Amino acid sequence: MRNLALPILAIFTLILLSIACKKHVIQPQSELSKLPPATQTGANTFGCLVNGQAFTPQDKSIFEGPVLQCNYIYTAGGYYFTLLVGNKNSDNSVTGVNIETDSLAISEGQNIPLKIYSSGNAQGSYVVYYNTGGQNAYETNNAVTGQLIITKFDAIKQIVSGTFYFDAINDKGDIMKITNGRFDMQYTK
């Protein structure tokens, strides 16, 4: 019996020690927590989830000018709003999220359907530009839609902030889900 008591005591001690020592498991950061907060100060921030993965401005892109671009201009008898974000990937492709209006003035508190790009409408898109010159474009249309909500519009300080979501479809019928979108931008005229 004595020969058996020592191993049992050792096992019992290990069990007690393992109960007493709590392991601190580091929880992975959620994709949603990787997005910037939804502010309204002109902080020049952008973020959304693309098929559940965080998408924020990162590296330089092939686009001329900034990776993060916001314009609101009056031309040809209408207002045009463009929000463009592009990220260069490790394979030299570029992914981009774009929201734009055609001949549509925006205002604070406005809910704008994202559908087909045409006069008086707005569209959301997600595009992969390949380094070989091709692209895979996913766009909203009249059947696959979304929503843009302007939460702040200050024409004096040139600040536009908002939230958005949309589904976008490519010519093969594949769908990208863009959710939890938010931006807080100083726009150029």
* Tens-digit pLDDT profile for residues 88-147: 887 888 899 999 999 999 999 999 999 999 888 999 999 999 988 899 999 999 999 999
What is the value of pTM for the model shown? 0.81
pLDDT, one tens digit per residue, over 17-32 is 455 445 555 656 799 9
Contact in structure between 4 and 12 (CB atoms under 8 Å)? no
Contacts of 19 (CB under 8 A, 6+ apart): none
Domain interval for residue 111: 2-186
Which pair of tokens denotes residue 100? 């734009």
Contact in structure between 161 and 180 (CB atoms under 8 Å)? no
Query: Cα–Cα distance between 12 and 17 in angstroms, integer?
Result: 9
> How many structural domains compose the chain?
1
Separation of CA 68 from chain center: 12
